[in-house]
Amino acid sequence: MTRISRRLVLAATILPRFAIAQSDQRPSITVAVQKIANTNTTDPMREQSSNVSERWLGSILENLIGRNQQGQLERVPALATSWRRIDTRTVELALRPDVVLHNGDSLSAEDVVFSFGPERMFGPDLPTDVRAVAKRYWPALEKIEIVDRATIRVVNAKPDVTLEGRLSAGGGQIVSRRAWLAAGSWQANARLATGSGPYRLVGFKPDSEMLLEAHDQYWGGRPPLKRIRILEVPEQASRIAGLRAGEYQFACDISPDQIGEIERDAKLIVKGGLVLNHRILAFDKQHPALVDPRVRLAMAHAIDGQAIVDSIWAGRAKVPAGLQWPFYGPMFIDGWTVPKFDPAEAQRLLKAAGYKGDAIIYRARNDYYTAELATAQILVEMWRAVGLNVQLQVKENWGQVLDKAGPRGVRDWSNSPTFDDPVSSIVNQHGPNGAQQGNGEWSNAEMNALSGALEAGTDMAERKRLFARMLQICERDDPAYILLHQNATFTGLRRDLPWQAPPSFFLDFGPKGWRG
C-alpha cells in the first residue's frame, strides 16, 4: 500500500506540469536582422543604436515611463503608474506594485535607485565611454530619492523641463539590483540584462544570435510568444531567401526596391514605414579640406535629397525640415528647411573657399543602414558634379569608421529623438557631451553654450529661440552634419502572423504588438 500511495503522489505532482507544458501552444519565431549589437553587449549604457539594439532592448528592459509603441510614441505608464511635477527640478513617480523581475524578485524602489546609481552609470570604476553616455543622458542628475516603498523622486541639480522625457528614453532602463551585484561588475554584466520586460534574455552570442524566452509573470499580460530567436544575417538577399524558405518568420532591414518582390509570394507581407530617425552625414571639420565651413555647406547644396528619396526609397522616405520632427510639438521650427539642392550655389561656395580639388574621405559601412552603399555611390556622383573630390571608403565596423589614423572627412550616421524635445537629438549627439564632439570631429563654442541653456531653460518661447539658432549653426554657419532623409524601416513576415509594426525600429512582440 505504501508503494502504491507513493506512485499516486508522484503522478499527482508530475502530470499537471506535463499537461501545462503540453498546453503551451504559443509559437516560437526566428527573426533575421542585419546586426544584433554594435558593441557585443546588451547594456544600454553602451549599446544604444536605434536601428540595431532598439529592435530588442525594450522586450527585456523597461523604463518607469514608457512610449506607446502602438500609437504615436507618446508617453504612457510603464514601471510607474503615474507621475507628477513637484517643481522644475523634481518629478515624483508611483511605482507599479505588481512587477516581477526576470529573476523572480519584485521590483523595489531600491532597484530604481540602483539603476541610476554609481555602480551602473557614474562610478569611477566604470568604462570611460559608459560614464560619457550617462553624462549625455543625465547631464545634471542629482539623486533618486525614496519617499516610501511605492514612491520615488527624481531630483535634478538644475531645472529641466525634459525629465519625464529622459525617464522614458535610453539611460532610463531599470535593472535588477540583486542580479547586477551578483555578477560583480559592469564588465560581468555587459552581456547580461535582468529586467522586467515580456521576454527574458537566455542566450547571447555576439555577431551571431540572441535568444529570448517568455517571462510569464510579466505585469502587462502573458507574452504571446514562447521563444524569440534573433539571428544576425548581414546580407539582405540571405534574409529574404530565409524568409521565403520559412527558415525565418521575420526579416528586417528590407530595402524598398525589394518590397514588391517579397509580396509576390502570397504568403508574405512587408510592414513598416517612416520612423523617428534621420539619416545624416557627420563631418570631421579637422580634415584640411573641411576646415572652411563653406566647403561643408557646398557639400549640402550639392545633394538632391528628393532624388534619393524618389529613386532609392520609392518615395517611402521623406526630406526632413532639418534636424527636427513634428513630434516636438511647440518646439518645432516652422519654415526651416535643409539647404536646398543648388549646384550653382555649391560651386560658388567652393570657389569662395578656395577649394582646389583636395580629396575628402567618405567612410561608410556595407549596408549597415538600409541601402547605404547605393546612397553613398549617388552622393559621390552628386559631389563630383560640382567639382568635389570625394573618395568613398567602405569599412567593416564602427571602430574603422571612427579610426583617427588617416584623414576622416565625412561619415554615415543617423539621429533619433529619444523623446519629444530637441535636447534628445541635436544636444544628445552634437552638443558638448555628444558623440560627435566626443569623437573629436566637430565642436562649436556657441553651440555648446546654447546646449546648456536649452537643457536648463524653462521658458518655452526662449528655448524655441535657442533651438532655432542651434539649427542655424549646425546646418548653415558651421555645418556639423548634412540631413539626407527621414528614415523608414520595413520588415518582411508571414502574412498570417498578427504582428503590428510600431512607428519605430522596435520589434514589439509584447501583448499589444502581437494581436493573435
Q: Are 450 and 469 in contact (CB under 8 A)?
A: yes
Q: Is residue 348 part of a domain?
A: yes
Q: Is residue 72 part of a domain?
A: yes
Q: Is residue 18 part of a domain?
A: no
Q: Is residue 71 part of a domain?
A: yes
Same structural domain, 355 and 424: yes
Say which CATH number the domain at 471 has: 3.10.105.10
Same structural domain, 418 and 469: yes
Separation CA 433–CA 136 (nearest Å): 5
Q: Is residue 516 part of a domain?
A: no
Same structural domain, 80 and 169: yes
Q: Given this model, what pLDDT does residue 3 score?
A: 38
Q: Is residue 101 part of a domain?
A: yes
DSSP state of 429: H
List, edge to edge, every strand of the sheet that includes 151-156.
Answer: 80-87, 90-95, 151-156, 141-148
Q: Is 380 exposed, middle or buried (0-12, 13-18, 19+ CB in 10 A)?
A: middle
Q: Is residue 513 part of a domain?
A: no
Helix H or strand E segment including 84: strand 80-87
The residues, ordered by sequence, that sit 6+ positions from 286 with a Cβ below 8 Å of its Cβ are: 408, 440, 441
Q: Given this model, what pLDDT does residue 516 score?
A: 65
List, edge to edge, every strand of the sheet that includes 28-33.
Answer: 199-205, 209-214, 227-232, 28-33, 250-251, 481-494, 268-283, 410-415, 360-365, 390-395
Same structural domain, 380 and 433: yes
DSSP output for 388-428: --EEEEEESSHHHHH--SS---EEEEEE--SSSSGGGTHHH
Same structural domain, 218 and 281: no
Q: Which of 177, 211, 233 is the last residue before a domain boundary?
A: 233
Say which CATH number the domain at 168 has: 3.40.190.10
Cα–Cα nearest to 32, from 203, 212, 243: 243
Q: Are 107 and 95 in contact (CB under 8 A)?
A: yes
Name the pairing type of β-strands 28-33 and 227-232: parallel
pLDDT in tens, the chain (516 residues): 333 333 333 333 333 443 444 568 999 999 999 999 999 999 999 998 889 999 999 999 999 999 999 999 999 999 999 999 999 999 999 999 999 999 999 999 999 999 999 999 999 999 999 999 999 999 999 999 999 999 999 999 999 999 999 999 999 999 999 999 999 999 999 999 999 999 999 999 999 999 999 999 999 999 999 999 999 999 999 999 999 999 999 999 999 999 999 999 999 999 999 999 999 999 999 999 999 999 999 999 999 999 999 999 999 999 999 999 999 999 999 999 999 999 999 999 999 999 999 999 999 999 999 999 999 999 999 999 999 999 999 999 999 999 998 889 999 999 999 999 999 999 999 999 999 999 999 999 999 999 999 999 999 999 999 999 999 999 999 999 999 999 999 999 999 999 999 999 999 999 999 986
Same structural domain, 200 and 334: no
Separation CA 68–CA 286 (nearest Å): 41
Same structural domain, 223 and 295: no
Tell me the residue range of the domain where 105 lies.
28-233
Same structural domain, 206 and 66: yes
Torsion sign across C-alpha atoms 219, 222, 224, 227:
positive
CA distances from 60 to 99, 200, 388, 443, 510 (A): 13, 6, 46, 36, 10
Separation CA 195–CA 62 (nearest Å): 7
Q: Which of 203, 233, 263 is the last residue before a domain boundary?
A: 233
Separation CA 7–CA 69 (nearest Å): 51
Same structural domain, 303 and 212: no
Q: Is residue 144 part of a domain?
A: yes
Name the pairing type of β-strands 90-95 and 80-87: antiparallel
Same structural domain, 221 and 295: no
Name the pairing type of β-strands 360-365 and 250-251: unpaired
* Structural domain total, the chain: 2
Same structural domain, 292 and 197: no
Same structural domain, 441 and 328: yes
Q: Given this model, what pLDDT does residue 23 score?
A: 67
